[in-house]
Structure 1
């Protein structure tokens, strides 16, 4: 049967989130998580819908893509379609042809899970290996220790404070309270929590959002940040441990995160919080020529 690429529209985002939840598993390589869609939702429902692509056969969604920025396509595949060559070729063709409305002409990037044939097909088509990423994971079968700092689960009343710490954690961040509210209104946020860590003087020093994919499945950290004026005191480690505790309480089997390998400090922070690095993976890119 023919594989069709689609755009779900706002009304179809719930189905996309549902299948992404079902596709998560500790035995599978890291791939697009419902929390990635949830974090993108900070831009609003319509823009999120505009950024999502699906590939289906006979009405069954087999792959999902998120345009995380104009030039980057992030992918996930159904477990039963992991080695589906026909699907891989269709996804690669759509990603490589600007007229199909997935990626633009010129420089573009694809983030595909390791082990799927779409990587091989793209490489055959002239795509090159790009940036190195380090996935990290912590099993949540055993209890997680206390983080050692006061951590709050925040709601709309403290959204402004959470947003301010996140902005102070990343040089080019434009995150606002309004974007927090848009994110919290999204379908994936039903299983998410935003945490805020405070120091002994009650100052907000670090933030994290955790996203559940359902009981018995991996939960995701996205994002985590430490206020630039409060670095070097272990708050990144503490808030990451708090994130793991929160996900364990929600029934998640593990906590995962993916960090650029070049961010040596970030990888070290996650490792200090008990997360174990998995084999590095490379994204794929096509240059402007």
Structure 2
């Protein structure tokens, strides 16, 4: 059976996200989550559809990828196709041949969950590994403890607060108020919760966005940030707890996040909020 590579239309993105929702499971490794596509929707529907890639066999999606950057593909595969040789070989061909329209020539990276046959075949093609990332998980069976600070939903009216914290937290000028407004207009807006932690003076100190994959499935933290003026005061732990509680209210079975292993502060914050560290993962890289 032929495996077809495609770039969905705006409406087709929903189908890709629906497949990702079905593939999320507490027993599965850290992998591309529908919330990752949701977070990319800060660039709008027209800016999201062109970066999605799907691989389908006999009309069924068996792999989904998202170009998080022109040279970085984040992807995963249907659980029953993790060791499927036909799927793995087609993926390797498409990743290695620039004319297929997935990755360009030269240095590129691929984020894929451990356990895929894809990794074995990329090793044969002499792809290496990049710096480690640390996955963290928190079970949501039991209620989440009180964060101890004022938590308020971040809606369209607080879009500038959201942008201000993220710019400060990640030392970048990219986040704008349009990010929050675009997510509010997305068709999957019911699956997202955006929250802010405020200090005694009413200033926003930290924000978090969490994404549900549906009841009984793991939710995702993407992103969480603390304003530089409020670091070291427990706001990171507080807003992370608030995000976990929001996911539990949405029916999520657990909460997941992945951060660079070199970001010791982020790892410590998530651990303080009850997240458990899992085995490190690494992107695959092809040197130009």
Task: Give the TM-score, by structure 1 length.
Answer: 0.98
Distance 1:122 1:46 in 2: 32
Query: Which residue matches 2:45?
Result: 45
Query: Which residue matches 2:109?
Result: 109
Distance 1:187 1:39 in 2: 13
Aligned 1:160-175 pairs, distance under 5 A: 160-175=160-175
Q: How many residues align?
A: 288
Partners of 1:189 and 1:211 within 8 A in 2: no
RMSD of Structure 2 on Structure 1 (CA): 0.9
Equivalent position SS for 2:152: strand
Query: Which residue matches 2:274?
Result: 274
Distance 1:181 1:22 in 2: 27
- Unpaired stretches in structure 2, ≥5 consecutive residues: none
Aligned 1:208-223 pairs, distance under 5 A: 208-223=208-223
Partners of 1:24 and 1:218 within 8 A in 2: yes
Q: How far apart are 1:213 and its partner, in Å? A: 0.2
Partners of 1:39 and 1:183 within 8 A in 2: yes
Q: Deviations over 1:149-170 (max 9, x none)?
A: 0001121111111111111111
Task: Give the TM-score, by structure 2 length.
Answer: 0.98
- Unpaired stretches in structure 1, ≥5 consecutive residues: none
Select between 124-133 and 164-173 the one with higher mean Cα deviation.
164-173
Q: How far apart are 1:202 and its partner, in Å? A: 1.5
Aligned 1:32-111 pairs, distance under 5 A: 32-111=32-111
Equivalent position SS for 1:268: helix
Query: Which residue matches 2:133?
Result: 133
Q: Deviations over 1:191-237 (max 9, x none)?
A: 10100000122211000000000000000000000001110101001
Distance 2:42 2:246 in 1: 22
Q: Deviations over 1:2-53 (max 9, x none)?
A: 1110111112011111111111000111110000001111111122110000
Distance 1:131 1:89 in 2: 25
Query: Which residue matches 1:25?
Result: 25
Distance 1:266 1:161 in 2: 21
Equivalent position SS for 2:179: helix
